[in-house]
Structures are given as C-alpha cells and as structure tokens.
C-alpha cells in the first residue's frame, strides 16, 4: 500500500517535552518511529495512512490530549515540506507589539488607537478605514517619534533564526505588513528579509500630516504579493509558508501551501489548522522538518 506522507510535529518550550508528555501521546499513535528534531523540544511523528481525514483525526486526538499542556501540535504534508518562500506579517508576528499603537503611546493616545487596532485585527472593521482613522488621530505628531518608537520595538523570539535559516536553505523571504515602511525596513534589515512592503506615512515639515499615501496595503495586497512571488520565483503553491496573526493576514494564510497563525486572533484561529500558541517562531522551522542543529542562531 502507498501512503500519503502526513506528519504530526509536536513542539514545546525548550526542555518541556518530557516523558510525561510523550505518555499522553502514546495511546493515540505509536511513537516507535518518532524522530526528535530537538531533544525535549520538538518531535516528528510520520503517519502511516493514505487518508487526510484519518491523519486529521489522529492530530485532533493528540491535540485534545495535550490541551492542558503548553504544547503546540501541527499537521502537515511531507510533500514540498521545506518551503522555498516565506512571507511574514510584522506587527505581533515578527515584532512583539503593534508599532502604530506604540507610536500612539508616545503621544498619549495609545489606548484610543489600540482599541481601533484590536477591532481591525479581529475583522470587525474595514482595514483601510481603521488605518485612516488611526493615522488621522496622529496628525501633526513629530516624525522624530518614529525613531523613538523603533528604539522600544522588540523582535519575537526566533524571528532572526527563522529568516536566517530559511535564507541559508535558499528560500526567498518577504516581510509584508499593513503597518509602515519606516518600521518594516528596519525590521527587514535586522532580520535579513530579502524584501519588505508596507504602507507609507504622509509627512510634511517633519510632521505626520494625518494621511496614508495611497494605495493602502491590506489583505488583498498581502495575497497579491504571495501570488506575485510564487510566479516570479517559478514556485508552486505548496512551496510557500506564510505567518500572521490578524484578519488582514487570512487571505495569504489560507492560500499558501502552509499558513501558520502566530498567537492568532480568534477569527484567524478558527480558520487555520496550524497555530503557534505556546512556543516561538522556531516552530515554523520545526514544522518544515528542520532539526535544531540546522538552525542559524539569532543574529543579536
């Protein structure tokens, strides 16, 4: 019998994937042929089944068994497992926070703008309208505060490792954000992304003029860049991996070969099979079958 090669990857925070956790998995699928990707952190379980539905059933049982643990469980195909194109969102994905909210905090209206951001990321508002509304509230703010905001911006754990490792393995990497080019360029430089795309702030006399220079980059543009890069690089749909957290990421997440939600908003979590909810961006490498010994360490 020939089998379609599905694999379940289980990832825990470092050193937490111990025998007690493995004992919870064993009743649902044998670990006899399981392969460690990183000792006590990540393990692969290749499934001997020719049915996606059967594979998903096993996946769901294991996930339910580990529900009370800080463990992430993923189900993917072994076909084109190591991706050749990475597209990542920036805010709350590659970086820890929402950079626009952080900028607003610098001028004392952080909570007001964060409330709008939250609704937009949950899919409750039209993204472009929400973006224009927030930027209008920042009219006449000094552009110097952009740099001050950047100084407080932190990368999420594993961001540099993810990009550096995939680049080392000859994947193309793109940072595509509904945020702003001032920040995406700096994040792209720090992580090593090949390219970055985002919105542009209107600035006059070194002050924000309260506008976003059109066209606005939103969910349609993220999907556009996924399709563009797939064509330009002569890749198949299965060759791509996308990562994001908000509603405007959904089109690129659901149309990629592998779409991963990173601590996603509820509207995103409901539509994705694979979600990073307890671990770091390193998991996006484990999902592709990379071992920890293949990782390129953080750049610092």
**What CATH number is attached to the domain comprising 43?**
3.30.70.260
Best CA proximity match to 69, nearest among 8, 115, 25, 113: 25
φ/ψ of residue 66, rounded to 5: -105, 10
Q: How many domains does the chain have?
A: 2
Using the structure block, give the residue that is written with the tokens 């599905």: 6
What's the confidence (pLDDT) of residue 3? 57
In whole angstroms, how far apart are CA 161 and each of 96, 158, 177, 297? 15, 5, 20, 5
Q: In the prediction, which pLDDT does 300 show?
A: 40
Q: Are both 69 and 86 inside the same structural domain?
A: no
- Domain residue limits at 42: 1-79
pLDDT of amino acid 1: 47
Domain final residue, candidates 52, 79, 106 = 79
Q: 192 in the Ramachandran plot: left (φ > 0), alpha (ψ -120 to 50) or beta?
A: left
Nearest to 255 by CA among 276, 272, 278: 272
Per the CB < 8 A criterion, the answer to whether 187 and 196 are in contact is yes
Shared domain for 47 and 142, answered yes or no, is no
Distance CA 225, CA 223 (A): 5
CATH number of the domain where residue 203 is located: 3.40.50.1000
Give the distance between the most distant pair of CA atoms in the chain.
70
**Segments in the chain below pLDDT 70:** 1-4, 298-300
Same domain as 272, residue 164 = yes
Planar angle of CA 115, 196, 189, nearest 5 degrees: 100
Pair 71, 157 in one domain: no
Alpha-carbon distances of 31 from 6, 25, 170, 289, rounded to whole Å: 15, 8, 32, 17
Domain boundary among 79, 111, 128: 79
The answer to whether residues 191 and 60 belong to one domain is: no
- Do 90 and 153 share a domain, yes or no? yes
Asked which of 79, 111, 145 is the last residue of a domain, the reply is 79
Looking at the fold, whether 67 and 94 belong to one and the same domain comes out as no
**Angular region, 210: left φ>0, alpha ψ -120 to 50, beta rest:** left
Residues annotated catalytic, as ranges: 89, 91
The structure tokens listed for 57 are 């059933």
Q: If 0-12 CB within 10 Å is exposed, 13-18 middle and 19+ buried, where does residue 199 land? A: buried
On whether both 71 and 93 belong to a single domain, the answer is no
Q: Verify that 105 and 154 share a domain, yes or no.
A: yes
> What tens digit of pLDDT does each residue of 154-174 get?
999 999 999 999 999 999 999
Handedness of CA 32, 37, 42, 47 (dihedral sign): negative
- Residues 278 and 238 occupy one common structural domain: yes
On whether both 151 and 275 belong to a single domain, the answer is: yes
pLDDT at position 299: 53
Check residue 4 and give its pLDDT: 59
């Amino acid at each position: 019998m020939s089998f379609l090669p599905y694999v379940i990857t289980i990832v825990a925070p470092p050193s937490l994937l111990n025998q007690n956790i493995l004992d919870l998995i064993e009743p649902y699928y044998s670990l006899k042929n399981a392969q460690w990707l990183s000792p006590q952190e990540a393990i692969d379980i290749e499934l001997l089944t020719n049915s996606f539905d059967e594979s998903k059933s096993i996946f769901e049982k294991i996930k339910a068994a580990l529900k009370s643990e800080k463990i992430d469980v993923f189900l993917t195909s072994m076909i084109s497992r190591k991706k050749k194109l990475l597209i990542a969102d920036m805010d709350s994905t590659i970086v820890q926070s929402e950079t626009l909210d952080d900028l607003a905090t610098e001028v004392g209206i952080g909570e007001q703008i964060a409330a709008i951001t939250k609704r937009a990321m949950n899919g409750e508002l039209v993204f472009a309208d929400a973006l224009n509304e927030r930027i209008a509230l920042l009219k006449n703010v000094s552009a110097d505060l952009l740099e001050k905001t950047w100084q407080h911006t932190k990368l999420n754990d594993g961001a540099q490792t993810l990009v550096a490792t995939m680049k080392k393995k000859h994947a193309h990497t793109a940072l595509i954000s509904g945020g702003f080019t001032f920040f995406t360029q700096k994040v792209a430089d720090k992580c090593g992304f090949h390219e970055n795309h985002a919105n542009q702030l209107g600035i006059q006399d070194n002050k924000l003029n309260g506008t976003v220079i059109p066209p606005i980059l939103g969910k349609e543009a993220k999907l556009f860049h996924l399709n563009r890069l797939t064509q330009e690089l002569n890749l198949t749909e299965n060759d791509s991996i996308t990562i994001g957290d908000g509603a405007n990421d959904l089109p690129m997440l659901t149309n990629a070969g592998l779409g991963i939600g990173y601590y996603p908003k509820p509207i995103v979590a409901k539509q994705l099979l694979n979600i990073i909810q307890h671990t770091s961006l390193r998991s996006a490498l484990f999902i592709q079958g990379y071992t920890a010994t293949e990782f390129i360490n953080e750049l610092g």
